[in-house]
Each structure stands twice: as structure tokens, then as C-alpha cells.
Amino acid sequence: DIQMTQSPSSLSASVGDRVTITCQASQDISNYLNWYQQKAGKAPELLIYDASNLKTGVPSRFSGSGSGTDFTFTISSLQPEDIATYYCQHYDNFPLYTFGQGTTLGIK
Amino acid sequence: EVQLVESGGGLMKPGGSLRLSCAASGFGFSGSWMSWVRQAPGKGLEWVGRIKSRVSGGTIDYAAPVKGRFTISRDDAKSALFLQLNSLKTEDTAVYYCAAHSRVGTIDFWGQGTLVTVSS
């Protein structure tokens, strides 16, 4: 099975800061990597698919990059409403959908 | 607007059974692939299983921890998805989300979740 390692597990930043989260796959997964946001007590929401494609309606301050084994999720200017836990997710033949451990983002 | 509404969660004893339901609306349910994803309290997301649409063959796949104990089914006439949970274990305690795919590799829409607690 492919393992997804997300880091850091938590971080705090100030409003307006640039925030970066990484996700590393245990083997080459091309660009089959998605990013989700989950706010406290809510269901997750898809933000970015296929490593770098922004889902329609998602603010442009969110972006993703990478391919192969190393991926990055970036918030260019942190806003108070971005406080959430972020997950990377990979799709493969089996198991079909594998999530990273999550990164909890807080405000300083 | 896509809506997925889960129901059926509750408190169960180990070894018990439970059936979760998901009522879908606002999209072409019969042509959609659907999944269940769970989240143990304070933990991350874990995919449980997926059912393809009938036109795609209706294939069902399960994650290893639930294979042989959980069963996914669908009623396209009622736009409903089901998850039958048997031989429940304490480690099955989680919020169970119903989810819809608009792309094969992404989980595009999520319900609000229903809590299943397994405890003696």
C-alpha cells in the first residue's frame, strides 16, 4: 500500500502569512493527489484536485503543486476563516482512497 | 444543490449490527459513484468503501478493516445509499460520512455525517 506522510501535524500562523503544508507519498503517484479542508464539526470539502487544480469556487489564495512523491499545499495569505484541518488524499487501485494524517492550522 | 443526508447512527454493543442510510438529492444519483468515509473521534479520515454506478458495473470495494463485515448497497429509484455494519467492534466508533464522486479519484461532495458509537 502507498503511504501518505503529511507534515507538519499542526502549525500556527498569523493572518496574512503564507502557509505551506507538505505531503509525501511512499512511491510515485504521478499527480493523483487531492487536498481537503475540514473545519471543526463539519464535513471535509475538496479544495484542490490532481495536485494543482483549484475546485470551482475555491478562493485563489489556495494552491497546490508537485508530482511524483512530493506535494505542497499553500495558502498565500492566511485568513481567519482558513482555520481548519487539511488533508491530502491519494487515489490508487487499492486501497482506493488514502488520506494523510492531517495538518491542524491555527491562528497565532 | 447537492445534498447528502445520513441517518441511522447510534450506540451499539460490540458484535451488534446497524444500518446507515444516506438520502441524496440535487444531482444524478443513479449515474454517480458513491463512498462511505469514517472519522474516529479526534482522528483523521478513513475511506470505508465505494460502490460504482450501475452503468459502470456496480462494483463494490471495501477497505481491509471492514471487508467481510460491512456491506454497501444502493437504491437508485430512491436516490439512497446504505451501509450495513455487522460484527461491530469498538474501533468502528466514528462519524460515518456519505460521499459522492464526480471524478474517479476525488471525493467531491460530503454529507454532514452520522455518529456510530460501539461500546459495552
- Per-window interface: A 59-88 vs B, CB < 8 A: 87
CB within 8 Å of B5: residues ≥ 6 apart = B22, B23, B98, B111, B112
Helix, strand, coil shares of chain A, percent, nearest 5, are 5, 50, 45
Q: pLDDT class for B10, splitting at 50, 70, 90?
A: very high
Contacts of B105 in chain A (CB under 8 A): 32, 34, 49-50, 91, 97
The string of pLDDT tens digits covering residues A50-81 is: 999 999 999 999 999 999 999 999 999 999 99
Per-residue pLDDT 10s for chain A (108 aa) are: 889 999 999 999 999 999 999 999 999 999 999 999 999 999 999 999 999 999 999 999 999 999 999 999 999 999 999 999 999 999 987 768 999 999 999 999
Residue B90 burial (CB count, 10 A)? 11
- Measured between CA atoms, how close is A15 to chain B, in angstroms? 25
Cβ–Cβ gap B106/A100 under 8 Å: no
User: Which residue of B64, B107, B113 is in closest CB contact with A46?
Assistant: B107
Please give the Cα distance from B66 to B54 (Å, whole number). Answer: 23
Give the DSSP per-residue string, B64-117: TTTTTTEEEEEEGGGTEEEEEE-S--GGG-EEEEEEEESSTT---EE---EEEE
The string of pLDDT tens digits covering residues B40-57 is: 999 999 999 999 999 999
Nearest CA in chain B to A103: B44
Nearest CA in chain A to B38: A43
Cell of B98: 456519505
